[in-house]
Amino acid sequence: MSPARQLTFDLDHRPALSGDDFLVASANEAAIKWIDQWPTWPAQAVAISGPSGCGKTHLAHVFQARSNAGYVTGNAISESTARSLVSDHPALVIDDADDLSSPEQEKGLFHVLNILKEQNKQALLLAKVPPSQWTSNLADLQSRLNALPHAAIDNPDEMLITAVMVKQFSDRQLRIEPGVIDYLLPRMERSFAAAQRIVTAVDEAALAEHRKITVPLVSAVLKSVND
């Protein structure tokens, strides 16, 4: 690759409540289709799973803007709060839905799913792994989870990770010298979390050392991050 190549991306962009753009690519296309299909989902809940930093929370904001959904985390659900969580909102987002560390939380989620069906409402469940891997001790709940429609957000391909990093630098109002992204790509883990971690470290180094974001600076940052 030429270090001075112009970066162009054949990616769709979706506006979000935060005002940021959501980059649409093969890694997240299936998840976005479920958001687009609401409220004509074939079930009371849809699950979206993916690694940290992949955009699940961003998609939750898009869903909330569409549906005026309430928001709760999995570890905040209980049997006693299930009905009010569903009744108080037209729809529901359950973030970290796989964070069910007690029988009370498992019973709470099971009741939420039942009440959603009773009230003909729907919920978006976000988690790091698919529902079939949550291994609930409540057999009825596990059966319901296994049957949920699900989409996984995969780790990004080269085009998407490049676009993500360019966007993250831009969001921080940072200008990068030609060749920086090309230098980073073969030397970093191909994940959203790694991209965020590296951009943050580069930003901090450039600020601390009053330097432009060049290949030598990025090389030094990668060495310190990897040591």
Per the structure, the complete domain to which residue 189 belongs is given by 156-226
Tell whether 42 and 129 lie within a shared domain. yes
Alpha-carbon separation of residue 213 from 119, 135, 169, 207, 225 (angstroms): 54, 45, 10, 10, 16
Among residues 152, 185, 208, the one where a domain terminates is 152
Bridge-based pairing of strands 91-95 and 122-127 is: parallel
- What's the total number of domains in the chain? 2
Tell whether 143 and 174 lie within a shared domain. no
Tell whether 34 and 119 lie within a shared domain. yes
CATH assignment of the domain containing 208: 1.10.8.60
Q: How high is the pLDDT of residue 84?
A: 96
Alpha-carbon separation of residue 194 from 48, 68, 69, 111, 199 (angstroms): 21, 32, 30, 37, 9
Among residues 152, 179, 213, the one where a domain terminates is 152
The amino acid sitting at 22 is F
Sequential pLDDT tens for the chain (227 residues): 334 344 444 444 444 444 345 677 788 889 999 999 999 999 999 999 998 878 888 889 889 999 999 999 999 999 999 999 999 999 999 999 998 888 999 999 999 999 999 999 999 999 999 999 998 889 999 999 999 999 999 888 888 888 889 988 998 999 999 999 999 999 998 888 888 899 999 999 999 999 999 999 999 999 888 76
What is the C-alpha separation between 138 and 146, in angstroms, rounded? Answer: 12
Among residues 152, 167, 189, the one where a domain terminates is 152
- Domain contains 13: no
In tens, the pLDDT along 132-153 reads: 999 888 999 999 999 999 999 9
Let me know the angle formed at the C-alpha of 129 by 128 and 134, rounded to the nearest 5 degrees. 115
In tens, the pLDDT along 55-94 reads: 888 889 889 999 999 999 999 999 999 999 999 999 999 9
Tell whether 85 and 180 lie within a shared domain. no
The amino acid sitting at 74 is G
- Domain contains 1: no
Contact 173, 206 (CB under 8 A): no
Q: How high is the pLDDT of residue 227?
A: 66
Q: How high is the pLDDT of residue 26?
A: 80
Total-model pTM: 0.75
